[in-house]
Amino acid sequence: MITAGKAFGWTRGLRFRLALSYVLFFAVLLVLLGILFRQVLSGTFQSQMESVLDEEWGAAKGYLRTGPEGPDWVFDEKDPDESFTVRRVQRVYMLADTQGHRLQNSEIYASLGVDPPAEIRAILQSGQPAIRVRKDPSGVPYMIRSGLWVDHDGHKYYLAIGRALDYNDTVIRNFTRNYFALIPMVIVLSGLLGWFLAGRALEPVNSVAEAAQRITHSNLDVQIPARNAGDELDRMIEAFNHMMTRLNHSFEQIRQFSTDVSHELRTPLTVVRGQLEVAMFTAQTVEQYREAMADALEGVERLSNIVRALLMLSQAESGQLVLQKQEMDLSGLVRDLVDQHQIPAEAEGVQLSADLPGGCMLTGDRIQIERLVSNLLGNAIKYTPAGGQVKVSLVPRFDHVKLIVEDTGEGISLEHLPHIFDRFYRVPSADPDKGLGLGLSFVAWIAKAHGGAVTVESKLKEGTRFSVLLPVGRWSMPSPEIPAVPVPERVH
């Protein structure tokens, strides 16, 4: 089991960081929610109190009359409702004339500070009721509602009434205290939950890490079991498994390659060694020496061919071999190569013919395309017995050209056909001196590097046909869609 603490401080582990982010986010959210809720609460209380004061102010006006000694409260003392309402209004009130001279006020109002005449005049002039909050000497807040009161005879007065806000304040204070006192506990709980959830979410990551740790060069077939949850971690596991499959495949190829290389080098080396031993211990005449040395030289030549081919193949496969692309006349190039192969073909008793419509331009690496055609032509001649035929054709299509090399040679059995493009693969019955088994690997690589592909059809004892599709740069014939030559019949 890989634990965070093993490789690094646990505070740097993903689990800790995930849980911490969760806690921080939750804490900020809670604080913001608390502040918001407090604002909403105090806003609601404020508007509630304003409407209560509005109502009371309206009721108070109904109980005020102007008598000989100025305004006075008139109500039925026996009516409990009336006397309750008036007593309540009378607790916090103030009456003044339009000049701002105080006429009456309750004791509590005096403790809040009576309104100065200038303020009274300003409120009366505005024509709008005023709402203010003031505190008494002990700090209790009061909401004051004041405005113009006109009696039945049209006399104008300034009337202010108020109500203590201490209850609302207490509710808001209590809410704030309790809410914020709960936050640390909620944060601790959410931290534990975050830690647990992050641990569960990261479990598959740990399995990947464990699996990765188990991998050595000898068990590259390690696969992590799928969870089938369809989430991101499943995709990660899938990608990991794919990567391992590819790695395994590459390692397998490298292993196979080294085995093949050592095998390929061992045989000619043994031969060269044998020949040198002959020269050293048994040759007596100059002629015998020369013969042994010539054989050894041939072996060395074969060895250096292998090494050169291997080097190029490894450069090609590792991407170091960069194609030098240029526009070239493919028809001309194939024609030249066919001409060059006429003599070896004649030597083998093979009839070499070509069907090459002119004007096919290709953007490609001249040297590599020459190598591709030469390999196919060389093989066709090599594996066709005397009396047989080899034919090379170019078949133009709209956006590509097909190069066909077909022969009436020994053919390749179905069993071997899928492998002939593999490195060092030779049909077991093939004469070991005939080749290295690398030519077709090159052909396949060159076709692929040019954006094309190579296919093979073959029938034992009847013949083989290789077709190479190459994207063509430009076909300078009048109608590229129409094939310039009829497509040759298939071998099978």
Q: Which residues bind ligand ADP (CB under 6 A)?
A: 375, 379-380, 383, 407, 409-412, 420, 425-427, 430, 434-440, 464
Which residues, at least 6 apart from 249, have a Cβ–Cβ distance to it below 8 Å? none
* Residue 419 beta carbon to ligand ADP: minimum distance, rounded to whole angstroms: 8
Which one, 208 or 491, has the nearer CB to ligand ADP?
A: 491
* Residue 426 beta carbon to ligand ADP: minimum distance, rounded to whole angstroms: 3
Q: Which helix (H) or strand (E) segment is 214 a member of?
A: helix 166-214
Of 376, 390, 333, whose CA–CA distance to 358 is shortest?
333
Question: Do 467 and 395 form a contact (C-beta atoms < 8 A)?
Answer: no
* Residue 412 beta carbon to ligand ADP: minimum distance, rounded to whole angstroms: 5
Which residues, at least 6 apart from 86, have a Cβ–Cβ distance to it below 8 Å? 60, 63, 73, 75
* Residue 204 beta carbon to ligand ADP: minimum distance, rounded to whole angstroms: 45
Q: Which residue is nearest to ligand ADP (CB)?
A: 435
Which one, 380 or 392, has the nearer CB to ligand ADP?
A: 380
* Residue 355 beta carbon to ligand ADP: minimum distance, rounded to whole angstroms: 18
* Residue 339 beta carbon to ligand ADP: minimum distance, rounded to whole angstroms: 20
Q: Which helix (H) or strand (E) segment is 234 a member of?
A: helix 232-277
Residue 190's CB is within 10 A of a number of other CB atoms, namely 19
Reduce the secondary structure of 133-181 to three states and give it as a string.
EEECCCCCEEEEEEEEEECCCCCEEEEEEEEECHHHHHHHHHHHHHHHH
What is the DSSP code (8-state) at residue 93?
A: E
Cα distances (Å, whole numbers) of residue 405 to 86, 105, 418, 492: 118, 120, 18, 14
Which one, 136 or 407, has the nearer CB to ligand ADP?
A: 407
Which one, 162 or 439, has the nearer CB to ligand ADP?
A: 439
* Residue 235 beta carbon to ligand ADP: minimum distance, rounded to whole angstroms: 40
| 63 CB-contact burial (10 Å; exposed 0-12 / middle 13-18 / buried 19+) | middle
Which one, 158 or 383, has the nearer CB to ligand ADP?
A: 383
Which one, 91 or 459, has the nearer CB to ligand ADP?
A: 459
Which one, 131 or 430, has the nearer CB to ligand ADP?
A: 430
Which residues, at least 6 apart from 11, have a Cβ–Cβ distance to it below 8 Å? none
* Residue 467 beta carbon to ligand ADP: minimum distance, rounded to whole angstroms: 12
Identify residue 389 by its one-letter amino acid code.
Q
Q: What is the CA radius of gyration of the chain?
A: 51
* Residue 257 beta carbon to ligand ADP: minimum distance, rounded to whole angstroms: 15
Q: Which helix (H) or strand (E) segment is 393 a member of?
A: strand 389-396
Which one, 78 or 461, has the nearer CB to ligand ADP?
A: 461
* Residue 408 beta carbon to ligand ADP: minimum distance, rounded to whole angstroms: 10
Which one, 60 or 440, has the nearer CB to ligand ADP?
A: 440
Give the three-state DSSP class for 370: helix
What residues are paired with 97 via a beta bridge? 157
Which one, 168 or 375, has the nearer CB to ligand ADP?
A: 375
Tokens of 443: 């052909």
